[in-house]
Structure 1
Amino acid sequence: MADRSKVIFGNQMSAKDYKKALEKKKSYLRQFGDDSKAAYSAKLVENATLYEPLGVYDIRVNEGEGEIPFDTEKGIIVGNIRMGFGHYRISIAMASAAKALGYTPYWMDLNSYKDTTCTKVIGKQNDLYSFGSRLSQKLPLFNKLVWEPMNYEGFRQLSYNAADQKNAELMAPVFHSIPKDIPLIGTHVWPAQAALHAGMEHVVNAIPDNWPMALHLAEGATHTIQTHQSYMGYRILNGFKKKEVLNPMPAEDLVYTGHYIDHELVANIEKDCDARLARKKNGEPMRFLMSIGGAGAQRELFAAVIKYLLPAVKAKKAALYVNVGDYKAVWDELCRDIPELAEISTTHFNDWADTNAFAQDAIVGNVEGIHAFWHENIFEAVYCTNLLMRSADVLLTKPSELAFYPIPKLFLKRIGGHEKWGAIHSAEMGDGSLECEDVPHTLQMIKLFLEEEATLKYMCDRIKANKVSGLYDGAYEVVKLAMAKKSK
């Protein structure tokens, strides 16, 4: 295999950048050890949260042999990492689409194999990224001078991809016992890169962001994108080496698919949008869904929104879902910031059956007040938002992976410059607001939703039209593409 840190899509890296990539790999080897010769076992286990609704099996590495055989005909691996919630959410969409199309989804989280060098490397980088995300919300100067530039231009450079490719070599051993002819969809670039280094034969790299960055390149895979806007940026590797004109990515390596969305959400778009408009027409409380990001940031913004909505909640003009994911401390802090919050809220904490029942009942039933959700299980923490979307009227979120979902959206301030392009795309598609970069503009949008029907109707109409155009069919298309690679 060619050294993918030396030459990337025909573009030679400088000796300095290559040396830096090698040194980074050596540093991790010194910290975490070399397990490249390890013969790690792999077995399949039903996923406790996702097996029943989506048929998902976990791939467990280094836990002995299992009794369930890999299905090399219908099986498809969704390779991901726990780094925030976004990559898990996109993975859920892929698993949902796979099941809907008759395939068996295998969940492979490279950040879950604690005894491996792979997971130790990812874990360290995840800790740093989460810390940076939270810090960026507390220190405006750090956000302006460090975090935004790194997420916007730093990750854009080929030199970053060169370093990642070397790091991905350390992740390859976890694939030792996995059949190499099972198609794999990477919902983060590292599983895609690692799979290729390990000799997996049919790899699709599902790019999550709308801002083209070299971070997301996995040469040797088929790259999929959710928007036409990002196509040429990836095709010509625009800005990936400052102003240098680069050799382009081959046309066959880049495919537009549309948004990566769960089958259950896509199949019910018309019904759910009609229900939103009916609730508005009937004067029922408007349901706002607030979903905190996987780094646990933006608590202060959440508090400002909740305080603003409290009078409307008490007057039964609004209802509020607050999903703090697996960050119980965020809810506790919100309750300290807003003393009456705990008293007037109904909590759905760490009880998945209760959360499921509420989400299903709310689709057709009445909802009032504030409902708070917290689950220490990461799958429940993430999937909770997906389940609540169907009965919610408006989703309040930073413009991350949720920017692409078929629900009216109010965009909170981004965390990282790359995220702003998610809001821009959503506004262009008509299913979301502009990014509200401060509290006053956020509250302005909430007021619009509460006091008039036009904004909600406009977004619902666009969502239904977008469905007809196939905009939300991306997960189906990625799965089809991955399985088609096997038949070539």
Structure 2
Amino acid sequence: MKGCWAAPSHATMKNIGRSITAVVVIGLSLLFFENHQAAKYAALTASNTFDIDAYVTRGLGRGFENPPISDFDKAKVVTLHSLSVLGHNKTDAPIPLAFSPSPFVPNLHISKAKEVSSAGVSLSKPLIVGTIRMGFGHHRIAYATASWGIDSGSETLFHDLLAVESPEAGLIKRTDELYSKGSRLASELGGLIETTWGGFTSKSGDANALRTAYQLAEVLKPLLKGLDINQPIIATHSLVGLTAIAAGFKNVINLVIDNHPQWFLVVPGALNLVQGPKTLGKLLRMGVPETDVRLAGHWVPSDLVKNAEADSLVRLERVRAGAPLRILLPVGGAGAQRRWVSQLLEALGPLITKGSVQVIINAGDHKHMRGAFEEVLERMGMKPNDGYEVVTTIEGVHRFCSERRNATEPAHGVTLFAFDTYFPAVAATDLLSRVSDVLACKPSELAFYPLPKLMLRRVGDHEADSALRANELGEGTEEMREVSEAVSWIRLMLTRPAYLRNMNKRVIANVGAGVYDGCKNAVATALEMQKGTYSSWDASSKYETLDEMEDAGEHTVEGGRGLRRMMEAEGECIVSFDASSKYETLDEMDSA
């Protein structure tokens, strides 16, 4: 009869029963696995040098503690650690190291695993810059830090964990390969893959990620134990900082690499230096003690910082003279963005042909990127030395920069830089930045550089906050998600020069406020640690407000003017720089 309920058949009931049984069995199995893995956590962490759980759980204290680690979290950390080490036999034996002069950077020393016959050079009390060659970013920041170490006259050692050939270095290399592959796939495929990868890079850096990273650091200790643990070490990758803490280093400085605060980027037991106030505030709110975090400024090489104001004045003169807009387009170390940057290059074709825009491309050491760009240039009707030039040596980079400083324009509208080796691939962008009008890049470590920036599409969601930092400082655009957006902003720079003038004036203001002095301050702090004179400025501060500090006349640059500049740089007040401004610098305005 219609509408009547028919009892399920015996076979149907049997299948339902089997399904319920299967769910129960799977649930019990997962519960058993969780309990089994969680039980291993105590043994895994028993010999740790540092108690990560106590550090994370402490939170703000006084009733505002963070939740303690759960059994599920313990099981997760144990499982992830097992996958990271894959049966690697842990040892505390140090790997003997040999030091030698860098073949690329004068007065810099590098390290590698010592061979039986190798002698090397002796270093007494080096300033150690520790890094990992993962993409270009961590190395770029390490070279930037080393440049200030060299300027200070200190013996400076560049210690790349991947350069120390060993089973431990192999563990890191495998992780780097997976990350690079993920970045390339996300950039090329977009859509769901990009969304998933973005979420992974921005939301997976929780306390469990820190716990997992620290357990790996306990395994990597031999990579640092060949160094003097009494010397300060500046880490440009949190894993290096964690390994230094695990190895017993007394003075560890961790450079927090971007503007997206995550536990994964924190090194408990170290001084964590950050580039902007947003990161400072959020790390404090997460529970990082005041003595363990400090606002330092952006990670920028000494050459760029010392010449930032002069280079900005040159850019202002180029805007005034109506010179072609010279755009630097570098690619990242993971080799992502091939399709996006290729589309942008092709979209700029009419402006390049017209002579309104010059494009400098750094394809790095990625052969597939060079090939992709050459295909695009060929479609645009350009050939080598007939529309574009190819530069393949670091000497060629220096020559190109020297010619631009002599106020000569490139012979072609496009210059493609492509290299066979790693160092020039990284260094070229730093050198070329000084002779470029605009840096067009994803919001990576380059988002913090002292020149006007066109922020291109991010590869991971964690990069979004770096674009916001540049935009809020007034020397970078918002992030361009589509090629058409990027082209429209380039047209804006060409047709509304007041916008580009303002960006350069903001760079000059930021220089005066010390915004770009992060690496300089990191090195100065490390040298204080080396001499035993370092103390936490936060713990000893007697001022509650900027007004109190200004009234006392302390910690300002040129008195109240320096404080005003600091406030301007952080967006606390607005200075009008319109198209009719007759002042090229803040000093000129102050004098008037």
User: Which whole-Å CA distance do the structure 2 matches of 1:105 and 1:455 have between them?
Assistant: 41
**Is this contact kept in 2: 1:151–1:416, CA < 8 A?**
yes
**Alignment of 1:430 onto 2:474:** yes
Which of the numbers 54, 59, 63 marks the counterpart of 2:115? 63
Offset from partner CA, 1:52-78 (integer Å, 9 cap, x none): 2xx221111243453311231xx2111
Superposed, 1:43-58 pairs within 5 Å as 43-50=98-105, 52=106, 55-58=107-110
Structure 2 residue 299 is matched with structure 1 residue 282: no
Alignment of 1:380-391 (within 5 A): 380-391=424-435
- State the match for 1:457 in structure 2: 501
Is 1:374 the equivalent of 2:418? yes
Q: Give, in whole Å, the separation in 2 of the partners of 1:442 and 1:476.
A: 33
Structure 1 distance, partners of 2:482, 2:431, is 28
Q: Secondary structure at the match of 1:454?
A: helix
CA contact (8 A) 1:47 1:57 kept: yes
Please say if 1:85 is aligned against 2:129: no
Q: Which residue of 2 is the match for residue 21 of structure 1?
A: 77
Structure 1, gaps ≥5 residues long: 238-247
Per the TM alignment, residue 2 of structure 1 is displaced from its structure 2 partner at its CA by 4.6
Mapping of residues 68-217 of structure 1, within 5 Å: 68-72=121-125, 75-117=126-168, 119-155=169-205, 157-217=206-266
- Aligned CA distance change for structure 1 residues 181 and 342 (closer, same or farther; 3 Å): farther
Q: Deviations over 1:330-357 (max 9, x none)?
A: 11112223423443211111x2212222
Question: Following superposition, which runs of at least 4 residues in structure 1 exceed 4 angstroms of deviation?
Answer: none
Distance 1:112 1:341, change over 3 A: farther
**Cα deviation 1:132-189 (Å, max 9, x = unaligned):** 111111233334541111111112x101111111011111101222111121000010
Checking the alignment, whether the CA contact within 8 Å between 2:474 and 2:506 is kept in structure 1 is: yes
5 Å-filtered alignment, 1:239-388, equals 248-339=287-378, 340-343=381-384, 344-349=387-392, 351-368=393-410, 369-388=413-432
Amino acid corresponding to residue 56 of structure 1 in structure 2:
L
Alignment of 1:372-411 (within 5 A): 372-411=416-455
Distance, in Å, in 1 between the alignment partners of 2:510 and 2:423 is 28
Query: What is the root-mean-square deviation in Å for CA atoms of aligned residues?
Result: 1.7
- Aligned partner of 2:388: which letter? S
- Compared CA separation, residues 234 and 170, structure 1 to 2 (3 A): same
1:101 deviates by: 2.0
Alpha-carbon displacement from aligned partner over 1:278-300 (angstroms, at most 9, x marks no partner): 12222322210000011111112
Q: TM-score of the superposition, structure 1-length normalised?
A: 0.92
CA contact (8 A) 2:49 2:248 kept: no
- Deviation digits for residues 383-417 of structure 1, max 9, x if unmatched? 10000011100000001110100010000011111
**TM superposition score normalised by structure 2:** 0.76
Instruction: Please say if residues 292 and 298 of structure 1, whose CA atoms lie closer than 8 Å, have aligned partners that are also in contact.
Output: yes
Q: Could you list the per-position Cα deviations for residues 445-471 of structure 1 after superposition, in whole angstroms to 9, with x for gaps in the alignment? A: 111122231121010000000111111
- Would you tell me which structure has more strand in proportion to its own residues? 1
- Secondary structure of residue in 2 paired with 1:437: coil
Q: Tell me if the contact between 1:56 and 1:106 (Cα under 8 Å) persists in the aligned partners.
A: yes
Q: Secondary structure at the match of 2:216?
A: helix
The aligned amino acid for 1:227 is G
Identity value in percent = 28
User: Which of 274, 277, 297 is equivalent to 1:225?
Assistant: 274
**Matching residue of 2:578:** none
Pick the structure with greater CA Rg: 2
> Cα–Cα, structure 1 residues 137 and 279, in superposed 2: closer, same or farther, change >3 Å?
same
Tell me, yes or no, if the aligned pair for 1:319 and 1:367 is still in contact at 8 Å: no
- Equivalent pair of 1:40/1:173 in contact (CA under 8 Å): yes
